[in-house]
Chains A and B, each alone.
Chain A
Amino acid sequence: MSVANKTISNKKLHDGMIKSKKTRVGDWTIAIVCFFLMLLCLLPMLHVLACSLSSADALVRNEVFIWPKGWNIEAYRTVLTTEKYVRSLGWTAILTVGCTLLSITLTICAAYPLTYTNLKGGRFINFIILFTMYFSAGTIPSYLLLSKMNMLNTPYALIFPNCISVFNVIIMRSFFYGVPDSLREAAEIDGAGPIRVLIRVYLPLSLPVIATLSLFYAVGRWNGFSDALMYLKTADSEKFWPIQLLLYNVIKNSTQTSEQAAQEGFFANGVSKTIQMATVMFATVPILLVYPWLQRYFVTGVTIGAVKG
């Protein structure tokens, strides 16, 4: 990152000396284009926020753009007092935290031994891990396996089948490779075994990459939809529905009923629309609050992954 900053400042310094009027106009044009790109990314979210804070009438009359009409927080209150939503949000939060802890631990366990290039069998283990990135059995074999293991319709189906991502193992391993060998050797001379070296030397130096991969795993679980759709099919597994699946079904049902309503000459139900938008806010805000703080780190993470992947 420091290299990047230096490049920018060097360039700026250099440009400053001979910056012609034409270049300056160009700079501002680019800045304005970027501003519109930002709007393109932000406006949909602002619209959702405005809808969730508006009155149901205003939504039916289609008056809301990015500023709420008929301010109220009724929708949020409804979501927070509806047991279905609260339970799903709480469950998804617990699931996300638990899965992230499990995944990151397993990822470290997989990546660290592979940095010992003299590990007997290490190459073979490396191969069997990497192979799964290029060839997978497919959806149905995994589904059948879970059905044989009696994991279908249980929360385990959301936790175990995807708890390690090979891609993240590669990122972690590459980061470990970057830790200077002299540090490991120094610790080894002090009599530290591999585990102690991991805990005392590697983990403290790897906090950025651990933060990045935790973010990746957490986002993956929080946004995870298809596994829940395929693996939680019975009525009594509905209590394990993560928020994305719940939201999908709520919206699907409401568009169907509103289609029917439209055919029968009624207006679509505006109340449920504001509630939907409030649910969307609940389902996105946790991530949107976290990711900007980790930006510096995940940029490095993605770069390592791309170079090595």
Chain B
Amino acid sequence: MFGIEDPWVYTPYILSILSALLCVGWGIINWNKDDSVNEPEDEVRHWAEEEDRVEDEL
């Protein structure tokens, strides 16, 4: 296949392309799926402020 005879070599060639297509399909289907709606705002705020401090140290 594609000039490659060994199935152990053309299989990953095809699988690489297929898995990239899987990523594309999966991304499109779940494009708007959001799981963060139930997160308490104070928890997010606290985390974000601490993250800013970590970044500031750098």
Tell me, yes or no, whether A binds B: no
Residues of B within 8 A of A (CB): none
